[in-house]
């Protein structure tokens, strides 16, 4: 069934204002028809009579019909039309009069993209409350914020100065970014039938309810699906209170550890990108543990700037190289997990960044060895496993990290070919069937080996011998194959496809997809 399109009418006597709003967003992408703009209040009333509109954005000061009177007349004749006003006037009486007349918001010129997106999202939410197909409209309102604001935080020079969109009464210029990272978002997947957009809507609405800030500007980062970003004018005391409420909610769920990083508040025109990067940096200083926590930038300033302690000594690095050369897999695992201490990094108080850099260094040593041995067919497998290990660090799961490092080391070693017996051959076939059926679930070497009662190293070796593929490469190829099937349905966006195929991080999914197909997901879909 074709999705309903919503009609948007802009009214402003300034040509450049109309054109700026037209070009800010790709309206058709969100099933919004951008109607021919109106130039004055009389034209608005004529167009409403002849064509109607679901959303009206009007200037407050136009010829023929006063803006306040226009809002009142539109709401009287077309009460379901959602109206908000824009103006160059920063006058409290104008604000009061337009809101009393029925406008949902009042934005000052020049209107920034972040304010426009927030207003349109709110308008769609209000329409959703009025219509039967409420869920689909709420998801559309959620998606427009997620996509457009994610683009903003990825850009270096996106200025943000809030103008009456937050509804928190702060009344000050500048903002802070509160970054909420749900380290195991996949634990929520099944509850929402693997619908990422629905899950995102639910989490954002819950955060609004928990904080008591219904008009909170919050979006889900489309490239890193486990990140929810709040842009707020709240002072530090109110931020901390809101953050602790959010933290307690997720602790009560018991599904995933959560970290909330809060950037410094600035009273000048600042880049939202810079505030976002600062909040990400704050998160990197957290301990590698399953504890949920809130971290303020100014509390951790020293930690952010400190030099990360190297956990791999020069002697340990030489030992790794020697063990790789001798092919002693058992000793290499012992050194990596026990000697260097990655198996006990949580108990030993390692920082998240220390774990991340140590895993990266070990992965690089293993990859260097493969390159030196001239084994090009193993390079892609090793790169995929190295990326997976880096991703596992993000989950703060020491057990899973040990599993993936074990798999990484096994793959780096040259194994002697052994003929599998009938039993192990049957086991591998059963494992392949299980993977083909459950490709979207969390699948690891240790989990599968335990399921079939086989030692993990032997299972890994035999899996590759029977299928011609490393286990994790086989899983990745299966997921990408399913993703390609989903891409034929133009109604499913790429972030949702990543989620449906077992990836809660679009950026990671995109890298895996491109390595396997030679094209990014967007390029591949564009060629269909």
Question: Rounded to whole angstroms, how far apart are CA atoms 183 and 205?
Answer: 19
Rg (CA), the chain: 27
What is the predicted pLDDT for the residue at 129?
A: 64
The residues, any chain, with a CB within 8 Å of residue 512's CB and separated by 6 or more, are 384, 387, 476, 479, 480, 503
Token digits of residue 163: 């103008």
- Burial (0-12, 13-18, 19+ Cβ within 10 Å), 385: buried
- The distance from CA 521 to its chain's CA centroid, rounded to whole angstroms, is 16
Q: What token pair was written down for 527? A: 């060629």
Do 145 and 222 contact (CB within 8 A), yes or no? Answer: no
Angstrom distance (rounded) from CA 292 to CA 354: 18
Query: Which pLDDT does position 484 carry in this prediction?
Result: 93
Query: CA 11 to CA 15: how far, in whole Å?
Result: 10
Q: How far apart are CA 343 and CA 339, in angstroms?
A: 9
Q: What is the pTM of this model?
A: 0.73
Q: Which helix (H) or strand (E) holds 146?
A: helix 134-153
Contact 227, 169 (CB under 8 A): no
d(C-alpha 279, C-alpha 231), whole Å: 11
Residue 282 and residue 315 in contact, taking contact as beta carbons nearer than 8 Å? no
Longest dimension (CA), the chain: 89
pLDDT of residue 99: 62
Q: Per-residue pLDDT for the chain (528 aa), expressed as one digit of tens each? A: 455 678 899 888 888 888 888 888 888 878 888 999 988 888 989 999 999 898 898 887 777 777 778 888 888 899 888 888 887 765 556 556 666 666 666 777 777 777 788 788 878 877 766 554 566 667 777 777 788 788 777 765 444 444 433 333 333 356 788 999 999 988 888 788 778 888 888 898 899 899 888 778 889 898 888 999 998 888 888 888 999 999 999 998 888 999 999 988 765 444 677 888 888 888 888 999 999 999 988 644 434 444 556 788 888 999 998 888 888 888 999 999 999 999 999 899 899 999 999 999 999 999 888 887 776 667 777 888 888 888 889 999 888 898 889 888 888 875 444 445 568 888 898 999 999 998 988 888 888 888 888 888 888 888 888 888 888 889 999 999 999 999 998 878 888 898 889 888 888 898 889 988 999 998 998 877
SS3 188: helix
Tell me if 122 sits within 8 A of 105, measured CB to CB. Answer: yes
What is the rounded end-to-end Cα distance, in angstroms, of the chain? 21
How far is it, in rounded angstroms, from Cα 466 to Cα 428? 7
């Amino acid at each position: 069934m074709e999705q309903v399109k919503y009609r948007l009418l802009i009214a402003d006597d300034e040509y450049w204002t109309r054109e700026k709003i037209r070009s800010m967003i790709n309206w058709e992408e969100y099933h919004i028809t951008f109607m021919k703009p109106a130039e004055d209040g009389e034209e608005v009333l004529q167009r409403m009579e002849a064509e109607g509109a679901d959303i009206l954005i009007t200037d407050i000061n136009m010829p023929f019909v006063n803006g306040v009177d226009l809002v009142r007349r539109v709401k009287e004749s077309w009460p379901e039309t959602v109206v908000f006003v824009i103006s160059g006037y920063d006058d409290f009486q104008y604000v009061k009069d337009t809101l009393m007349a029925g406008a949902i918001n009042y934005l000052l010129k020049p209107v920034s993209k972040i304010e426009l997106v927030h207003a349109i999202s709110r308008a769609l939410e209000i329409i959703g409350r009025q219509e039967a197909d409420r869920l689909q409209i709420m998801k559309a309102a959620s998606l427009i914020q997620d996509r457009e604001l994610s683009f903003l935080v990825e850009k270096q020079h996106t200025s943000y100065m809030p103008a009456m969109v937050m509804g928190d009464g702060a009344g000050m210029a500048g903002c802070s970014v509160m970054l909420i990272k749900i380290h195991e978002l996949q634990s929520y997947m099944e509850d929402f039938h693997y619908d990422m957009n629905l899950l995102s809507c639910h989490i954002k609405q819950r955060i609004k309810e928990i904080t008591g800030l219904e008009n909170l500007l919050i979006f889900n980062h489309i490239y890193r699906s486990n990140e929810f970003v709040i842009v707020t004018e709240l002072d530090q005391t109110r931020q901390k209170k809101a953050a602790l409420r959010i933290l307690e909610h997720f602790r009560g769920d018991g599904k995933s550890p959560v970290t909330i990083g809060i950037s410094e508040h600035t009273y000048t025109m600042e880049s939202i990108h810079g505030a976002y990067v600062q909040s990400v940096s704050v998160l990197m200083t957290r301990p590698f543990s399953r504890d949920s926590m809130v971290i303020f930038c100014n509390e951790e300033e020293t930690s952010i700037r400190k030099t990360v302690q190297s956990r791999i000594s020069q002697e340990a690095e030489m030992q790794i190289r020697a063990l790789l050369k001798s092919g002693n897999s058992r000793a290499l695992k012992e050194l990596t997990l026990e000697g260097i201490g990655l198996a006990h990094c949580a108990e030993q108080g390692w920082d998240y960044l220390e774990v991340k850099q140590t895993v990266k260094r070990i992965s690089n040593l293993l990859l260097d060895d493969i390159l030196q041995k001239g084994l090009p067919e193993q390079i892609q497998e090793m790169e995929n496993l190295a990326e997976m290990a880096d991703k596992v660090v993000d989950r703060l799961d020491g057990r899973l990290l040990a599993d993936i490092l074990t798999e990484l080391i096994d793959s780096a070693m040259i194994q002697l070919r052994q003929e599998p017996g009938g039993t192990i051959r049957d086991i591998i076939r059963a494992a392949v069937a299980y993977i083909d059926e459950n490709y979207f679930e969390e699948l690891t070497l240790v989990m599968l080996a335990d399921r079939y009662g086989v030692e993990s190293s032997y299972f890994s070796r035999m899996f590759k011998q029977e299928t011609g593929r490393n286990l994790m490469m086989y899983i990745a190829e299966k997921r990408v194959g399913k993703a390609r099937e989903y891409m034929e349905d133009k109604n499913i966006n790429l972030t949702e496809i990543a989620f449906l195929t077992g990836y809660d991080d679009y950026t990671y999914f995109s890298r895996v997809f491109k390595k396997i197909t030679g094209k990014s997901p967007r390029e591949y879909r564009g060629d269909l």
